[in-house]
Amino acid sequence: PNALKFLEAAAPGQIPEKFRYFDAGFFNLGGQEVLISRTGWTNEMGIEIYGNANLDHSKLWDFLFEIGSAFDLERAGSASLGLRRVEGGILDYQSDIDLTMTPYDAGLGAFVDLSKEDFVGKSALEKASKEPRLFGYTTKSAKVNAGLSIFEDGQQVGHTRSSCWSPTLERGVGYVVFDRPADAGQSWVGRHLTVRDVDGVDQACEIVTLPFFDKQKRLPRGLPIID
């Protein structure tokens, strides 16, 4: 939540008054020019910093933590990055979606414009099911991971993708890709199924929409959550 305040302290007088979500620009940090974008991989209000071949990375690192001390800036590893990504419903190519899936399977049909005259894959997408196969699931078990089986009435119906323990929701969360779309007039969302955890123990789970919270994506825009 302090990302923009931190950035203003690190680059005083350089940040536009309205540095919006997905904006980007070149700025001077501690005497070095870098590209900074209002983007991120955590569904938080954050920034990403891109250097160049001549950047003194150690100098930049020390500068950022010198400025960040006033904001209680801390180091965090990939585990925290990954769990916020999953909580925020951000999909990773090859981990969560792949070439075996259509945009409709992944719930990304809104990005397909079949009214365009022609494009690679149009004829295949016209024939494809428009119903999604990828959803979220929640369970009380902390022992979740990718590649777990999902069952309905004893029959395997799908597999999990990226999954983790959510400290925000205090439960296991993750993505599930079903073997087929839901039957006509039905939905996977709201169903209470079974996930076989990493210990091979069957756990109750519920199928939900994504993201798991902050469904209007207000956090990365610096707005209070209203879920």
Q: Are 188 and 135 in contact (CB under 8 A)?
A: yes
Tell if the pTM clears 0.85, that is, is over it: yes
Task: Give the tokens for residue 18.
Answer: 């309205």
Would you state the pLDDT for residue 16? 93
Count of domains observed in the chain: 2
Residue 223 lies in a domain: no
Are 200 and 128 part of one and the same domain?
A: yes
Would you state the pLDDT for residue 89? 96
* CATH number of the domain to which 198 belongs: 2.40.30.110
Would you state the pLDDT for residue 227? 62
Cα 134 to Cα 1, 12, 176, 208, 216: the distances in Å are: 30, 44, 6, 10, 19
Would you state the pLDDT for residue 225? 81
Are 35 and 137 part of one and the same domain?
A: no
Encode pLDDT of 40-65 as tens digits.
898 999 999 999 999 999 999 999 99
Are 108 and 198 part of one and the same domain?
A: yes
Task: Give the tokens for residue 164.
Answer: 């983790």
**Across the beta sheet with 48-50, what order do the strands follow?**
24-29, 32-37, 48-50
Segments of the chain scoring below 70 in pLDDT: 227
Query: For residue 177, which amino acid is it?
Result: V
Q: Where are the alpha helices (DSSP H) in 99-151?
A: 122-127
Residue 227 lies in a domain: no
Residue 76 lies in a domain: no
Are 109 and 176 part of one and the same domain?
A: yes
Beta strands in 101-167 (DSSP E): 134-139, 149-152, 155-166
Are 64 and 100 part of one and the same domain?
A: no
| Residue 64, domain extent | 3-71
Would you state the pLDDT for residue 220? 87
CA distance 138 to 145: 12
Are 189 and 104 part of one and the same domain?
A: yes
Are 120 and 203 part of one and the same domain?
A: yes
